[in-house]
Structure 1
Amino acid sequence: MLQSSMNSKQHLIIFTRYPEPGKTKTRLIPALGILGAANLQRQMTEYTVSQVKELQKATGISLEVRFTGGNLQLMQDWLGLGLVYQSQGEGDLGLRMARSLFDSFQSSMEQVIIIGTDCPGVNSQILTQAFEQLHTFDLVLGPAIDGGYYLIGLRRLIPELFANIDWGTSQVLQQTVDIAEELNISLIYLPALADVDLPEDLPIWEQVFNREVGLSDN
């Protein structure tokens, strides 16, 4: 049982948005329409949650969903009562991530990882790897091919990593790494993965989705 008591100090936070048509995945609306873009957001979030639940079965990590849009009732109706939900609150992405990390470390968590739902390559294996790396490194980053990151993991809150970053640009990863190097923070990368943000990214999701459907049909 030693294993699970250790892992109870490992915490995973999923950042997502309630899939309200017209307010989510807006860059995909030209390709998918308002409803299609919201539906994609819904499916990708559900897929991410399913991957984390796989990991939970094996490791006993704790999980929370930090959301924007919608409200607690809508989130529970959508993803079920079995999850912990928390609003992301005000501020830019950096402030919202720093707040969620602060809350987690205040609750005596020792390893905290934040992921979004835009990157279908984030599966239970990648997440397992990320938590393992946090035994050795202060900072784990999952580079997104567009220059951002799909995952950040820390052993303590380092607020500097979330300040003065040009969120939503191709500079995010590099700016974060530059700050980490200035602060002498030990850092390791996970495999680079692709986000699904633009119409040309859709085949990445279709591949995963078709595989999932295929598995559930068997």
Structure 2
Amino acid sequence: MHADPLNDGFPLAILAKAPVPGRVKTRLTPTFAPETAARLHEQLLRQTLKVALAATPAHRIVLWTSLEHDHPLFVEFAERHGISLRPQPEGDLGVRMFTALEAMGAPGLLVGSDCPVLAPQLLADCHAALAHHDGVLLPAEDGGYALVGLRAPCQAFFTDIAWGSDRVLAQTLTRADSLGWRLAQPAKVWDVDRPEDVARWQNQDTSP
């Protein structure tokens, strides 16, 4: 699938850490060496960007960087594909996600870089859901979520959440209820966080 040439696509933000050994995918060690874990992280990020580019035009994509904002991989992405780079702000994950969504100026989607089952049509379906819902989530098997989209970003949606825990999704759904929001959840997905996830990923056909 490719973005519809009759429209301008939709805003899409990707939160991306530079593939620095020892700083990414640390839960994969010691099964994998830090350098190997970093290479796996880079592969996941490349795959995420490939899916994103198949779903929406490059000029609608912003890569929000962390660890090393001028990492050669990020420079390559910007020069080769024409996507924008912006540094993630200081603060917890909620602050960083809210900042990325608010910066869009229109309803859009935000994803991480470690969900290998994202597909262009799934991204398109998630964005389409914003026409009839206040937000959209892709729940993850580990109790979090791999994608969030909001029609009108609200910082309260992201506050007092136990980021990194298996309670993230439940707490987020409770927060949505307190705000009176209706959330779409088009599919359940999984992330690559543990060594067994790597085998699951590499045994799947995840081409867009």
The secondary structure found in structure 1 opposite 2:12 is: strand
Could you give the per-residue CA deviations for residues 126-147 of structure 1, whole angstroms, max 9, x where no partner exists? Answer: 1011011111111101000000
Query: Considering only aligned residues, what root-mean-square deviation do their CA atoms show, in Å?
Result: 2.0
Distance 1:74 1:138, change over 3 A: same
TM-score of the pair, normalised by structure 2 = 0.90
Q: What is the aligned residue count?
A: 203
TM-score of the pair, normalised by structure 1 = 0.87
Q: Does 1:64 align with 2:62?
A: yes
Q: Does 1:40 align with 2:40?
A: yes
Q: Equivalent residue for 1:14?
A: 14
Q: Does 1:30 align with 2:30?
A: yes
Q: Does 1:101 align with 2:96?
A: no
Q: Equivalent residue for 2:182?
A: 186
Q: Does 1:138 align with 2:134?
A: yes
Looking at structure 1, the residues matched to 61 and 155 of structure 2 have their Cα atoms a distance apart, in angstroms, of 21
Offset at 1:169?
A: 0.3
How do residues 84-95 of structure 1 correspond to structure 2 at under 5 angstroms? 84-95=84-95
Could you give the per-residue CA deviations for residues 145-191 of structure 1, whole angstroms, max 9, x where no partner exists? Answer: 00000000111112111100000000000100001011110111021
1:203 pairs with one of 192, 199, 203: 199
Is 1:75–1:85's contact at 8 Å kept on the other side of the alignment? Answer: no
Looking at structure 2, the residues matched to 185 and 61 of structure 1 have their Cα atoms a distance apart, in angstroms, of 30
Could you give the per-residue CA deviations for residues 24-66 of structure 1, whole angstroms, max 9, x where no partner exists? Answer: 0000021111111000000000000001111126xx8711100
Q: Equivalent residue for 1:167?
A: 163
Query: Where in structure 1 do 4 or more consecutive aligned residues deviate above 3 Å?
Result: 75-78
* Aligned-partner residue type, residue 72 of structure 2: L
Unaligned regions of 5+ residues in structure 1, if any?
none
Q: Does 1:4 align with 2:2?
A: no
Looking at structure 1, the residues matched to 97 and 75 of structure 2 have their Cα atoms a distance apart, in angstroms, of 24
Offset at 1:72?
A: 2.8
Q: Equivalent residue for 2:143?
A: 147
Structure (1 or 2) with the greater helix fraction: 1
* Aligned-partner residue type, residue 159 of structure 1: Q
Q: Equivalent residue for 2:113?
A: 117
After superposing the two structures, state which structure 1 stretch, 137-146 or 153-162, moved more: 153-162
